[in-house]
């Protein structure tokens, strides 16, 4: 793992997917599942991190098969989140410690992005899934819901959270490594020639 210099600080915002009108409209038939998905956002930008419960059979084949037009159960909904969101954390003891990637071409094929008008296209991006143990995932979700961490509409800096919680260290040491350069730049960060994330 690359060394991360720890002198920087950044802001985490808490998201409620049930308050996101686009999400609620898109997943109108799966609203009951949305309430179980904690989410964070880095800084004031649309770079979200979803915490997705265990997905049955996720370790059997990668990338997982998915039909975006058939969101009839919880598993299909969880896979849809992974295909539609750039950063995701989910538990799987067999894959714990690994980062699995679904490339843009696969996402394009599954979501049929070629049928979406170009003006609605977002940046071409892959989907990254951070696998953790069941124990780690339960701890992270517990921290997110604990007093002093989660508060509706609130935001905190990582340094203030690191004093009491484990999740900010995971984000700093694993998730930030995967941010696209343009996102790092918006957070006032850049990777140096050695791969360290440092202040601009």
Distance CA 68, CA 21 (A): 19
Quick one: average pLDDT of 135-154? 76
pLDDT of residue 4: 36
Band of pLDDT at residue 7, cut at 50, 70 and 90: very low
Band of pLDDT at residue 6, cut at 50, 70 and 90: very low
| Stated pTM of the model | 0.85
Quick one: average pLDDT of 57-64? 95
Nearest to 127 by CA among 63, 56, 77, 52: 63
Report which of residues 51 and 42 the model is more confident about. Answer: 51
E-assigned strands of 73-121? 87-91, 99-102
Report which of residues 132 and 153 the model is more confident about. Answer: 132
Quick one: average pLDDT of 129-139? 97
Domain ranges of the chain: 11-199
Quick one: average pLDDT of 185-197? 81
Report which of residues 158 and 141 the model is more confident about. Answer: 141
Nearest to 30 by CA among 79, 89, 92: 79
């Amino acid at each position: 793992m690359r060394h991360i210099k720890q002198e920087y600080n950044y802001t985490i915002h808490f998201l409620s997917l049930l308050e996101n009108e686009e999400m609620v409209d898109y997943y109108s038939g799966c609203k009951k599942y949305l309430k179980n998905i904690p989410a964070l956002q880095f800084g004031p930008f649309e770079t979200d991190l979803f915490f997705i419960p265990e997905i049955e059979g996720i370790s059997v084949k990668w990338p997982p098969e998915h039909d975006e037009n058939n969101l009839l159960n919880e598993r299909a909904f969880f896979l849809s989140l992974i295909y539609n969101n750039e950063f995701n954390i989910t538990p799987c003891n067999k894959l714990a410690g690994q980062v699995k990637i679904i490339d843009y071409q696969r996402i394009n094929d599954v979501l049929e992005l070629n049928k979406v008008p170009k003006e609605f296209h977002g940046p071409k991006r892959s989907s990254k899934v951070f696998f953790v143990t069941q124990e780690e995932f339960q701890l992270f979700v517990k921290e997110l819901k604990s007093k002093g961490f989660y508060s509706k509409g609130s935001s905190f800096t990582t340094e203030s959270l690191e004093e009491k919680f484990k999740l900010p260290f995971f984000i700093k040491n694993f998730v930030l490594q995967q941010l696209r350069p343009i996102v790092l730049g918006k957070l006032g960060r850049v990777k140096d020639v050695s791969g360290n994330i440092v202040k601009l």
